Amino acid sequence: MSTLRMVRGAYVLIAASLLLTVVSMLLRLIIGALSSNEAVLIEGIHASLDVAITLAVLVALTLVRSRLARGFPYGLYKVEDLVTLVLAGILFAIAIELGYEGFSRPPSTPSMLPMIAQATSLAPLAGASYLKYVASKKLNSPSLRADSIHTVGDVAEGGGVALGLLAYAMSSNPIAYRLSILVAVAGIVAAAYEAGHESFLSILDLPLDKSLIDRILKSVESSFKGVKVESIRARWAGPVIFVEMLISTHPLKTIEEASVLSREIRKHVRQLNPNIIDVTISVEPTLRKHFKVCLPQDTPAKDSPISKHFGRAKYFAIVTIDDLKVRSIEVIPNTAKNVHAGNVPKQLLVGARIAELLHKNGVTDVIVTNIGEIAYSLLVRHRIVVWRVKEGLRTDEIIKLFLDFKLERLYEPTREESWARREEHAHL
């Protein structure tokens, strides 16, 4: 209920700001028409643009929360862009026409009334700006906050027009009036360009802020070790931004790990900019380029068949592969298997010692015919991938199969020992 009351309160503030802006607009338009003062008329049109932009923001905020928006993947945020673009174009053309008329024919009789009307209209505009700012904080709406700041600029610009009208009323110098016309036209042209330019780019899905994309890329790669951003796109729609990213990470990450990583990156990116409301992340599978493959052998030779046993093999062939090419083959003795035959507990931990030995040697993959659960578990813990081949294949044949991605990956050990039996041996 408290959230609902907050939203309702924000909408009341927006309605009040609209009412104040309308008062400012009508005051300018009426006095401008009665006194044939184009400068004040242009300022009235400027205020009407403020009304239109705030209405567009209000429509967008309402549509975003509607059931209709749920049927669209990117919501209906672009409605605001479309409305604002059309209105900006129309009001821009009207301002130029009135500016030309006023510049070529200043009022014949200087009067204080247009200046008073212009100056008086600034107070409701300032109040409207404050109310929109308070509402933007309640709704956490960047577009409403930007509209509030834009209105502050309109107040300052309106003050400049009022000073020009005052100078004309006091001096009857047409140059002073023409300066007020120039300030008024410049103000509405700047406002129309700001609103229309961003809306135009948003409708075409062009980036409004290219530096934001670079900041996101650098922040993600520096904050998440091993993550590379392959591509990144941002879609601006009205007051919000949608971000789409393609990342690559460690090739051995599980789907669950990749899901957790994506969730963390999504949260991180949304914190970089309050306008970002949705981040879509795709994780690209990557192919490893560097391998250090271990094969158990009973005789140290390239054409030696793979050993039937992993822990009791006499040697290990360590094959270094870069860019799918064999760079070197090194054979090392299996020092971990040298355990006294009567020491049963240590014999059961041979696989563990071998796994640690291979990890220290930088091994990334192990190819076996059979493997026990302790050795398998420790290899997986060190992110060493375990592959399986049939008995009798030679080392060179196995490496060719490995390079052709034709080996079977092991997801569980091929042999398991009874834990009860291990306990029994441990107490002997």
Convert the pLDDT of each residue in 301-338 to its tens digit.
878 899 988 888 889 999 999 988 999 999 888 887 66
Every domain of the chain with CATH number 1.20.1510 lies at 2-203
Which residues are 246's β-sheet partners?
A: 231, 282
pLDDT digits (tens, 9 = 90+) for 355-380: 888 888 899 999 999 888 888 888 88
Q: What percent of the chain has pLDDT over 90?
A: 21
What's residue 111's pLDDT?
83
What's residue 48's pLDDT?
85
pLDDT digits (tens, 9 = 90+) for 27-41: 989 998 888 888 888
Buried b (16+ CB within 10 A) or exposed e, 219-253: bbeeebeebebeebebbbbbbbbbbebebbbeeeb
Every domain of the chain with CATH number 3.30.70.1350 lies at 210-284
3-state secondary structure of 415: strand
End-to-end CA distance of the chain: 69
Per mean pLDDT, which range of 135-144, 176-185, 274-283, 412-421 is the poorest?
A: 412-421
Sheet holding 276-284, edge to edge: 228-237, 240-248, 276-284
Q: 290-426 has which CATH code?
A: 3.30.420.130
What's residue 264's pLDDT?
93
Q: Which residue has the higher pLDDT, 216 or 189?
A: 216
At 419, is the pLDDT very low, low, confident or very high (cuts 50, 70, 90)? Answer: very low
Q: What's the chain's average pLDDT?
A: 81
Buried b (16+ CB within 10 A) or exposed e, 316-326: bbbbbbeeeeb
Q: Is the pLDDT of residue 425 over 60?
A: no
What's residue 142's pLDDT?
61
Q: Which residue has the higher pLDDT, 347 or 243?
A: 243
What's residue 156's pLDDT?
81
Q: Is the pLDDT of residue 387 over 90?
A: yes
At 266, is the pLDDT very low, low, confident or very high (cuts 50, 70, 90)? Answer: very high
For domain 2-203, which CATH number applies: 1.10.286, 1.20.1510, 2.60.120, 1.10.3470?
A: 1.20.1510
When pLDDT is averaged across residues 249-272 and rounded to a whole number, the result is 86
What's residue 352's pLDDT?
78
Q: Is the pLDDT of residue 262 over 80?
A: yes
Residue 340: Cβ-neighbour burial (10 angstroms; 0-12, 13-18, 19+): exposed
Q: Is the pLDDT of residue 64 over 80?
A: no
3-state secondary structure of 295: strand
What residues contact residue 67 under an 8 Å CB cut-off, 6+ apart?
none
Every domain of the chain with CATH number 3.30.420.130 lies at 290-426
When pLDDT is averaged across residues 284-292 and rounded to a whole number, the result is 82
pLDDT digits (tens, 9 = 90+) for 149-181: 778 778 888 888 888 888 888 888 888 888 888
CA 175 to chain centre: 51
Q: Is the pLDDT of residue 265 over 70?
A: yes
With 0.75 as the threshold, say if the pTM is over it.
no
Q: 210-284 has which CATH code?
A: 3.30.70.1350
Reference 217, options 230, 236, 202, 203; nearest CA is: 230
pLDDT digits (tens, 9 = 90+) for 223-259: 998 888 999 988 877 667 889 999 988 776 778 888 8
